[in-house]
Chains A and B, each alone.
Chain A
Amino acid sequence: EADIYQTPRYLVIGTGKKITLECSQTMGHDKMYWYQQDPGMELHLIHYSYGVNSTEKGDLSSESTVSRIRTEHFPLTLESARPSHTSQYLCASSEWVGGGPSETQYFGPGTRLLVL
């Protein structure tokens, strides 16, 4: 079973506030990801990291930023939240499993963000 945690699970916040979504994994995985998921839509990759001090933007443009100071921790920050940021944010980490996809990704439970 995957050990990847996200907090908070639900967040309702006003426009203009700064927010940080936390993601931690205890599996020692080097690679970590943030996806955005809207109802009835595909998951879209917004950020990923290959390891400490490595961060890259994903396919979907996002105003959020990420940091990777420790292997187990990959927080996502929005400096000034807007209603357009309302979505579900999913964190994932991955390992390479021999004989399988090079990216076997394990997902956290997600954070549902509502910006009023």
Chain B
Amino acid sequence: QKEVEQDPGPLSVPEGAIVSLNCTYSNSAFQYFMWYRQYSRKGPELLMYTYSSGNKEDGRFTAQVDKSSKYISLFIRDSQPSDSATYLCATQAGTALIFGKGTTLSVSS
């Protein structure tokens, strides 16, 4: 079983939709969870992170962690065409970050 699992999509939504991106992880010892956004031909950029369980909100983005089910989510409200990118969930294990495969999101105007 991979340490972080993520459905690669692709996911296509109309502008203004609420988007839900999800990952599961296997190791209950993981504490920090991150979401990176990667535009085509670019490197990943950190979008937001959460520690342990709970929610964190930043503008139109909300990250959520449910440690009981080992489930992490990123919600995007009022999605925009500029949100079209690949979203990577990640967790930290020692020195390294462990990434999911990424979900490719396309928001059409």
Contact = CB atoms under 8 A, between A and B. Distances in A.
B29 interface: no
Q: By CB atoms of chain A within 10 A, which of B34, B51, B97, B98 has the most?
A: B97
Contacts, number: 60
A4 B44 CA distance: 12
Contact of B101 (A4, A40, A103, A107): A40
Interface stretch (A12-20, A41-49, A68-76, A78-86): A41-49
Contacts of B46: 104-106
A102 B42 contact: no
A8 to B, nearest CB: 13
Contacts of B36: 107
Interface string B1-25: 0101000100000000000000000
Contacts of A109: 41-43
B97 A103 contact: yes
Given A40-B101, A41-B101, A42-B100, A103 B45 contact: no
A2 B42 CA distance: 13
B99 interface: yes
A101 interface: yes
Interface in A52-108: 56, 58-59, 90, 92, 100-108
Contacts of A92: 43
A59 B43 CA distance: 20
Contacts of A43: 44, 88, 97, 99
Contacts of A102: 32, 92
Contacts of A33: 96
Given A41-B101, A42-B102, A59-B96, 11 more contacts: A2-B45, A42-B2, A42-B98, A42-B100, A43-B88, A101-B34, A101-B49, A105-B46, A107-B36, A107-B43, A109-B43
Interface of B: 2, 4, 8, 32, 34, 36, 41-46, 49, 51, 88, 92, 95-102
Interface of A: 2, 4, 6, 31, 33, 40-43, 45, 48, 56, 58-59, 90, 92, 100-110
